Amino acid sequence: MHIDDRGYQFADAVYEGVTVRHGRMVDLEPHLDRLWRSMGELRIAPPMDRAPMRFVFSQVIAKNRIENGFLYIQISRGVAKRDHAFPTKPVASSLVVTLKRLDVDGVIARAGKGVKAFSEADIRWGRCDVKSTSLLPNILAKQAAKEKGGFEAVLVDKDGYVTEGSSTNMWIVRKDGVVQTRSTADNILPGITRATLLKLAAELQIKVVEEAFTLEDAKGATEMFLSSSTGCATPIVELDGQKIGDGTPGPIAKRLVEAYQRYMDA
């Protein structure tokens, strides 16, 4: 990396994270759609078209000979003398693609046990729909949750509503059995796993409403779970030291984990 890369200097960059399962990229096209949208919103020029980019990804997977992994893609505005404003002369955007092994079976096993989470104030900006590498508030929240013994931070806005996790979307199952997750129109990242789980839930005839819920709603829920490309639909069995439901993974999360596993393996 060049020290004047704007990704390095300013986090003037966008990214994606794609799970690779049995050598195949899970939900590649929606990830590419979101990447293109993020670039468009920030006026970062795509470093190449979608077809060659798909080819680069497949080469990275093939050459690393990794069957189950996490493909990380980062695109910055490019290299230019440090100045907050965009470079005056057009520069090529920088593309970085890495692949690391991911223990997908371990993710499923963790989902079978559930995790603990802690609420943290959401101090992020007004464009959380853009998947930008400017992740400092997310990092601080995750670290705070980790230091308390949690796996994830549940971000809460100033009105007491849960927005999402530090790197996950949040879901609850209400006492009436309806699943609730915040709308993507409401300043959160439109998770790709979230969208897939919505489709799988519809197939399983599980009722879902896309509406914001509060931290108190979450604490009174019968189930809570998080979703992300590397987290599947992991149940949250304890929030701020308080059990969710009976403190074990609930039936709806279990059904969604199984359905997601079948979806990845198909």
Name the site residues for ligand PLP (rule: CB under 6 A): 17, 164, 167-169, 189, 191-194, 227-229
Q: Which C-beta is closer to ligand PLP: that of 226 or that of 239?
A: 226
Give least dist CB 169 to ligand PLP, A. 5
User: Cα separations (Å) of 154 from 122, 168, 206, 229?
Assistant: 9, 9, 24, 17
- DSSP label of 44: P
Give least dist CB 131 to ligand PLP, A. 7
Distance CA 241, CA 229 (A): 26
Give least dist CB 127 to ligand PLP, A. 12
User: Cα separations (Å) of 1 from 35, 74, 91, 100, 236?
Assistant: 21, 12, 15, 19, 38
E strand spans, the chain? 13-21, 24-25, 69-76, 94-101, 115-121, 152-156, 162-165, 169-173, 179-181, 208-210, 223-228, 232-239, 242-243
Judge whether 87 and 78 are in contact, CB under 8 Å.
Answer: yes
Q: Which C-beta is closer to ligand PLP: that of 4 or that of 210?
A: 210
Nearest to 228 by CA among 152, 161, 149: 152
Catalytic-labelled residue, pool 100, 131, 142, 254: 131
Q: Which C-beta is closer to ligand PLP: that of 78 or that of 168?
A: 168
Give least dist CB 219 to ligand PLP, A. 21
Q: Which C-beta is closer to ligand PLP: that of 192 or that of 253?
A: 192
Give least dist CB 3 to ligand PLP, A. 26
Q: Which C-beta is closer to ligand PLP: that of 120 or that of 164?
A: 164
The answer to whether residue 148 is catalytic is no
- DSSP label of 170: E
Catalytic residues: 131
